[in-house]
A and B are shown apart, each in its own frame.
Chain A
Amino acid sequence: GAVVSQHPSRVICKSGTSVKIECRSLDFQATTMFWYRQFPKQSLMLMATSNEGSKATYEQGVEKDKFLINHASLTLSTLTVTSAHPEDSSFYICSATPASGQGAPNNEQFFGPGTRLTVL
């Protein structure tokens, strides 16, 4: 149980275009989803916290107009990289925490497989 999927797994786009990445909790409801960015051979950097039905909370230094997050349901959060540039190329990872009463500690994060974005 507690599977998180991401789509697409990899995407290549031209500079200036926008890219949407989906994060889904497949077998549980997630009140909170998190978006991370991981550079090669580096740790995960938290970008934002996404709560269902409310605005995302962005970490310091992360441009909210650049990285649009929508958490429209308890099983889906999307990250849209707007007007992507080569420096946005990275590995984007989402995670989700189960809502209370679903059999898992509600502070445990379950991670998606990641999406590799390459901006040409």
Chain B
Amino acid sequence: AQRVTQPEKLLSVFKGAPVELKCNYSYSGSPELFWYVQYSRQRLQLLLRHISRESIKGFTADLNKGETSFHLKKPFAQEEDSAMYYCALPSGGYNKLIFGAGTRLAVHP
């Protein structure tokens, strides 16, 4: 069965420090993975998807099929990066998504 695991509930760093939010998945076949972000009092929005291989707001994520991981990274965290981050994986038909538990990133000045 498809599953997304985000092992960290909270990641707390200082401004300028590197950030890595972990995501591991269980999926049969070639998955298309996503990172969604939810800033305080805002709606969930797509941050990036692995097939586009782009960098959004300085964040990148590489799909590692051997380790079944899709960790989100940023070399230098900013205070405005503080938010909830969710890793997501398609599941079943109609483009359903299943979400990980989420990781709260707190960037301190």
Binding site for B on A (CB under 8 A): 4, 32, 34, 42-44, 46, 49, 51, 57, 93, 95, 97, 105-109, 111-114
Contacts and interface: CB of A to CB of B under 8 A. Distances in A.
Nearest to A34: B96
A51 B93 CA distance: 11
Interface centre among A108, A109, A113 (most CB of B within 10 A): A109
Contacts, number: 43
B56 interface: no
Interface of chain B: mostly helix, strand, loop or mixed = loop
Contacts of B49: 105, 108
Contacts of A97: 95
Interface of chain A: mostly helix, strand, loop or mixed = strand
B46 A43 contact: no
B31 interface: no
Given A97-B95, A109-B95, A42 B101 contact: yes
Contacts of B86: 43-44
21 contacts: A32-B94, A32-B95, A34-B97, A42-B101, A43-B86, A43-B100, A43-B101, A44-B99, A46-B97, A46-B98, A49-B96, A57-B94, A93-B44, A95-B44, A97-B95, A107-B32, A107-B90, A107-B95, A109-B95, A112-B43, A113-B42
A27 to B, nearest CB: 15
Nearest to A111: B44
- Nearest 7 CB-CB pairings of A with B: A107-B95, A111-B44, A113-B43, A43-B101, A111-B43, A49-B94, A44-B99
Interface centre among B42, B46, B49 (most CB of A within 10 A): B46
Nearest to B91: A46
Contacts of B32: 107
Contacts of B90: 107
Nearest to B95: A107
B45 A111 contact: yes
Given A43-B86, A44-B86, A114 B95 contact: no
Interface string B59-72: 00000000000000
Contacts of A105: 49
